[in-house]
Amino acid sequence: MSRCITRNADKLYRIAGFPCVLGAIDGTHIHIQSPCLLSGEEYRNCKGYFSLNVQGVCDADWKFINVVACWPGYMHDATIINNSILRAECDAGQF
């Protein structure tokens, strides 16, 4: 594990008391206009408006270390993290 990652994990432990945490993750829906008729409905989220489902991960200094902004609004948050580069890197033991 790199020094930067270790330092960040230590800082997050001091802030929140969770060991071995590299960042805070959350998602939000970014409101968009209705896309074309052929694919528009997949962008309609569970609240009924058109959106992109955007996921971000911040480090201990509130800096984004990962952002995924390509999924349509209907997509579940778990699908986004499970198909992300960040998940693949974690599974490969890079952290």
Return the domain boundaries, the chain. 23-91
Question: pLDDT tens digit string along 44-85?
Answer: 999 999 999 999 999 999 999 999 999 999 999 999 999 999
Q: Does residue 38 surpass a pLDDT of 70?
A: no
Q: Are 29 and 42 in contact (CB under 8 A)?
A: no
Would the CA dihedral through 70, 12, 60, 10 be positive or negative?
negative
- How many helices (H) and strands (E) would you count in the chain? 3, 3
CA 16, CA 59: separation in Å to the nearest integer?
A: 12
Q: Does residue 1 surpass a pLDDT of 60?
A: no
Task: At 80, list the tokens.
Answer: 């986004």
